[in-house]
Amino acid sequence: MRTMRIGKSDILNATVMGLGAWAIGGKFWWGDNDDRESEETIRAAVDRGINLIDTAAVYGFGHSEEVIGRAIAGLRDRVILSTKCGLSWDGREGSFFYEKEGKTVRRNLSRASIRKDIEASLKRLKTDRIDIYLTHWQSVEPYRASVEETMRALTDLKKEGKIRAIGISNVSPEQICEYMDFGELDIVQEKYSILDRRAEKKYFEICKKNGVTFQAYSPLEMGILTGKIAEDFKPAPGSARDNKHWYEKENLKRAVRMLAGWGDLTKKYGCTVTNLSVAWLLAQKDNMNVLCGARKVFQLEDNIGGAELALEKEDILRMTKDAQEAGALL
């Protein structure tokens, strides 16, 4: 698989596709998991050439990190680990974010909180370093840490060798500029898919201009762009898909019918709808990394097929037009 540099960091060979591990955390968002199957999938990703694994402390309240820690035992030097800080559920101070399973999740990007987060993640992941460390959600009132304080804390961790690259997620373009005022920013992680292209106007130019890698999450719209979701599907209340734009009845219907119209393309390339969706995304921008979630080996292999598929220009344009007609967010 093709590799790339992450920002201006010393990470020179990250695969253009990473394994996203939100669903591996299970719990209230994604339901029960077979952890042994998740571990098998993680190891299979490494064996099949994916070296970037992305998670976050809050995924399953630490469970995703724990599963990854077990899975990569003996493989650490073959893996580029990415995780996130800034969301705590242990009762410490912070701005209220949400409540789930009797736990209150708070936003906290103070120096002290980041220090606690990194040590907890290192322990769960069974490692002495995090390769890419991102702020998950940004500080808000009433417990707001300044971007300067946050960036200084991250830069100190980098100097200490506990992290190698600094990233941010769920931010505005203005916040990106503010982070860069106080240190070296390597990666911006935001939602992006053929059905949700808002990132193009908000982030592409600023990332390109400043040598910052853009990383796309939810490239398959939580499963819709695999072509395996029926138009009458209803998300379970409180699940990750609940209340999401493309899972609303009429939106889902339009998306499913768009995918049904790609039968000639899957036949032409001998591929799946998942392959097409991932390949379209990777064709949009240089210096872009894509995170695809998987809990099972067959899901992983489907994702990989998209990273290895080169679409002809006329088909890229046709897919873009189809998505616009289906109501893609721009």
Active-site residues, by number, are: 59
Of 29, 18, 95, the C-alpha closest to 244 is 29
Angle at which helices 35-47 and 63-71 cross, to 10°: 50
- What do you get for the CA distance between the two ends of the chain, in Å? 30
Tokens 């540099």, residue located: 5
> 237 preceded by cis ω (within 30°)?
no
Report how far residue 115's alpha carbon sits from residue 188's, in angstroms, rounded to the nearest whole number.
Answer: 21
Integer-rounded Cα Rg, in Å, for the chain is: 19
Report how far residue 161's alpha carbon sits from residue 157's, in angstroms, rounded to the nearest whole number.
Answer: 6
What are the φ and ψ backbone dihedral angles of 52, each rounded to 5 degrees?
-100, 125
Helix (H, G, I), strand (E, B) or coil at 54: strand
CA dihedral 277, 58, 2, 290 (to 10 degrees): 30
| Pairing state between β 87-88 and 80-85 | unpaired
